[in-house]
Amino acid sequence: MLKTPKALTVAGSDSGGGAGIQADLKTFQELGAYGMSVITAVTAQNTLGVQGIHPVPVEMILKQLNSIEEDLRPEALKTGMLFSAEIIEAVSRHIRKYEWKNVVVDPVMIAKGGADLLRRDAVEALKKQLIPLASILTPNIPEAEQLTGRSISTKQDREDAAKFLHDLGAGMIVIKGGHLSHDKAPVDLFYDGEQMHELEGRRIDTPQTHGTGCTFAAAIAAELALGKTPIHAVKTAKTFIQEAISHPLHIGSGHGPTNHWA
Ligand code: PLP
């Protein structure tokens, strides 16, 4: 009997369906992994922004993690919105204790509309507890700046930031280039711990980019669950997200979601 690859997302729910848990599960499905979820926070959200955030009690987050460990151990997982230091500590402790592998950490901090998805005082917990457990860490440039405490504009800055994050304990790092200046192609930097790789993309000018970070990290986790190598997983995730952004859905009147079945 063929084993079904299982991928887990540990993240926040987006009632609008474009980011968070909902984006992750759609991505897992599209890429052929069985999707599971541990919900860390419930958000009231649509394409216009985040109207409310309700974190799930840590005890209930641990129950969800234990239910999965006891019966449905994942081949790979991704973490997204973790909201507080307490939640980061609980999730990190569980990953360490049960030695879960193929951990993709998307260091989600602020939604495009400006809402805080991670409390400012939780950044240290992210750096000390979770980043050392990351097989692949996927910050965008503002997140990499927060994590390193340095501003990033040149290629050298990005390489230095990737090395800094590797020294914090992340196995591999993708610094996403989407926030680079708009007249440049969005080149992602992938550092595998030994070599820097530049992954070039196309700049697609659209406001329909809600959930791109979540979708990219989920696609990497799905590919790792399928047994693909990290470089293959990152390249496939990049193609997947580019297709998703290129075929917008035109849902809602604000920043619409990417299209997971493009
Ligand atoms: N809402 C949730 C629950 C998320 O996890 C994320 C992404 O990380 C977002 C919103 C961010 O959405 P956006 O891509 O619009 O910044």
Residues 6+ apart with CB under 8 A from 135: 101, 102, 103, 104, 171, 172, 224, 230
Does the annotation count 213 as an active-site position? yes
Average pLDDT for the chain: 95
202 vs 38, more confident: 38
User: How far is the centre of ligand 1, averaged over its atoms, from the C-alpha of 210 (Å)?
Assistant: 7
Check if 209 is active-site. Answer: yes
Query: How far, in Å, from the CA of 185 to the mean position of ligand 1?
Result: 23
Model pLDDT, residue 1: 67
CA 44 / ligand 1 centre spacing (Å): 11
Q: What is the mean pLDDT of residues 137-152?
A: 97
Q: Which residues line ligand 1 (CB under 6 A)?
A: 11-12, 14, 19-20, 43, 45, 80-81, 108, 111-112, 117, 210-214, 255
- pLDDT bin (cut points 50, 70, 90) of residue 182 is low
Q: Which residue has the tokens 């995730």?
A: 237
Cα–Cα dist 17/260, whole Å? 11
Tell me, what's the pLDDT at 183? Answer: 61
3 alpha carbon to ligand 1 midpoint, in Å? Answer: 31
Q: Specify the pLDDT at position 63.
A: 98
pLDDT at position 208 is 86
Q: Which domains does the chain have, with CATH numbers?
A: 6-246 (3.40.1190.20)
Nearest atom within ligand 1 for CA of residue 11: 5
pTM over 0.80: yes
What pLDDT score was predicted for residue 248?
83
d(C-alpha 126, C-alpha 151), whole Å: 19
Catalytic, 211? Answer yes
**Model pLDDT, residue 151:** 96
